[in-house]
Amino acid sequence: MATVSAAANPPLEAEGASILGLMTHERWIEVGRIILTGAVSFLYWQNLVPLYVLWAAVAIGLYPLMKTGLIDLFAERKIGTEIFVTIATLVAVFGGETVAGAVLMVIILIAEFIAELNTDRARASIKSLIGSVPQTALVREDGGERTVPIAEVRTGQIVLVRTGEKIPVDGVVTGGSAAVNQAPLTGESVPQDKAEGAQVFAGTIVESGAIDVLTDKVGGDTIFSRIIALVENAESERAPVQKLADKIATWLIPIVLIFLIGVFLVTRDVSKVVTLLIFTSPAELGLATPLVMIAAIARAARNGILIKGGLYLELLAKADVVVFDKTGTLTANKPEVVQVQSFDPAFTEVDLLRLAAAADRRSAHPLAKAVVDGAARRSIDVPNPQGFEQLQARGVKATVNGEIVLVGNPALLRDAGVTVDRTVEQTGRTPVHVAVDGKFVGVIFIADTLRSGAREAIAALKESGVKRVIMLTGDNAATAKAIAGDLGIDEVKADLMPEDKVAAITELQKQGLKVAMVGDGVNDAPALARAEVGIAMGGGGTQAALEAADIALMTDDLNKIVAVRNIARRSYRTIQENLWVGVGVVHLLGITAALLGWIGPIQAAFIHLGPDVMVFLNSVKLLRVKIPGA
| Mean pLDDT, the chain, integer | 81
Nearest to 172 by CA among 195, 193, 150, 191: 195
pLDDT per residue as tens digits for the range 3-25:
333 333 333 333 444 567 677 88
Q: Is 142 one of the catalytic residues?
A: no
pLDDT per residue as tens digits for the range 538-560:
765 456 656 767 888 888 888 99
Residue 165 has pLDDT above 80, yes or no: yes
What mean pLDDT do residues 258-277 have? 85
Report d(CA 100, CA 278) in Å as an integer.
12
DSSP code for 277: H
pLDDT value at residue 236: 56
Q: Which residue type sits at 97? A: E
- Tell me the pLDDT band of 582, cut-offs 50, 70 and 90: low
Residue 318 has pLDDT above 60, yes or no: yes
Higher-scoring residue by pLDDT: 495, 82: 495
SS (HEC) of 404-434 = EEEEECHHHHHHCCCCCCCCCCCCCCEEEEE
Name which of 46-50, 124-128, 169-173, 303-307 the model is least confident about: 124-128
pLDDT value at residue 348: 93
Nearest to 293 by CA among 617, 535, 567: 567
Report d(CA 40, CA 35) in Å as an integer.
9
Measured CA distances, 112 to 24, 90, 470, 614, 616 (Å): 16, 18, 48, 14, 12
Q: Are strands 515-519 and 533-536 parallel, antiparallel or unpaired?
A: parallel
pLDDT value at residue 432: 92
What mean pLDDT do residues 131-144 have? 81
pLDDT value at residue 276: 84
Domains and CATH numbers, the chain: 12-128+232-296+568-623 (no CATH), 136-221 (2.70.150.10), 332-449 (3.40.1110.10)
Nearest to 354 by CA among 378, 326, 325: 378
pLDDT value at residue 443: 95
Nearest to 443 by CA among 418, 426, 466, 467: 426
- Tell me the pLDDT band of 466, cut-offs 50, 70 and 90: very high
Measured CA distances, 362 to 387, 398, 599 (Å): 10, 10, 87
SS (HEC) of 371-402 = HHHHHHHCCCCCCCCCEEEEECCCEEEEEECC
pLDDT per residue as tens digits for the range 429-445:
888 999 999 999 999 99
Helix H or strand E encompassing 455: helix 454-463
Report d(CA 119, CA 465) in Å as an integer.
31
Does the reported pTM lie above 0.85? no
Cβ-based neighbour number of residue 581 at 10 Å: 14
Name which of 33-37, 54-58, 235-239 the model is least confident about: 235-239
Kindly give, in sequence order, each residue whose CB lies less than 8 Å from that of residue 384, ignoring residues fewer than 6 positions away. 358, 361
Higher-scoring residue by pLDDT: 520, 194: 194
- Tell me the pLDDT band of 244, cut-offs 50, 70 and 90: low
pLDDT value at residue 6: 34
What mean pLDDT do residues 466-470 have? 94
Residue 127 has pLDDT above 70, yes or no: no
Task: State the Rg of the chain over Cα.
Answer: 33
Helix H or strand E encompassing 194: strand 192-194
pLDDT value at residue 9: 37
Backbone angles phi, psi at 166, to 5 degrees: -90, 145
- Tell me the pLDDT band of 119, cut-offs 50, 70 and 90: low
pLDDT value at residue 4: 33
The answer to whether 562 and 461 are in contact (CB under 8 A) is yes
The answer to whether 508 and 515 are in contact (CB under 8 A) is yes
Q: Out of 325, 360, 448, 556, which one is annotated catalytic?
A: 325
pLDDT per residue as tens digits for the range 191-236:
888 989 888 988 888 988 999 999 998 887 787 777 777 666 655 5
Tell me the H-state helices in 180-281: 183-186, 223-232, 240-267, 270-279
pLDDT value at residue 615: 77
For the chain, what's the residue count?
Answer: 630
Residue 509 has pLDDT above 70, yes or no: yes
pLDDT value at residue 297: 83
Higher-scoring residue by pLDDT: 108, 325: 325
Q: Are strands 533-536 and 551-553 parallel, antiparallel or unpaired?
A: parallel
Measure CA 421 to chain center.
Answer: 54
Kindly give, in sequence order, each residue whose CB lies less than 8 Å from that of residue 342, ignoring residues fewer than 6 positions away. 348, 349, 351, 352, 441, 442
pLDDT value at residue 70: 83
- Tell me the pLDDT band of 2, cut-offs 50, 70 and 90: very low
What mean pLDDT do residues 170-176 have? 92
Report d(CA 360, CA 370) in Å as an integer.
9
Measured CA distances, 159 to 82, 201, 464, 554 (Å): 53, 12, 45, 24
Instruction: Render 319-383 in DSSP notation, one character per residue.
Output: -SEEEEETBTTTEEEEEEEEEEEESSTTS-HHHHHHHHHHHHTT---HHHHHHHHHHHHTT--PP
DSSP code for 482: H
Residue 173 has pLDDT above 90, yes or no: yes
Coil, helix or strand at residue 628: coil
Report d(CA 289, CA 243) in Å as an integer.
9
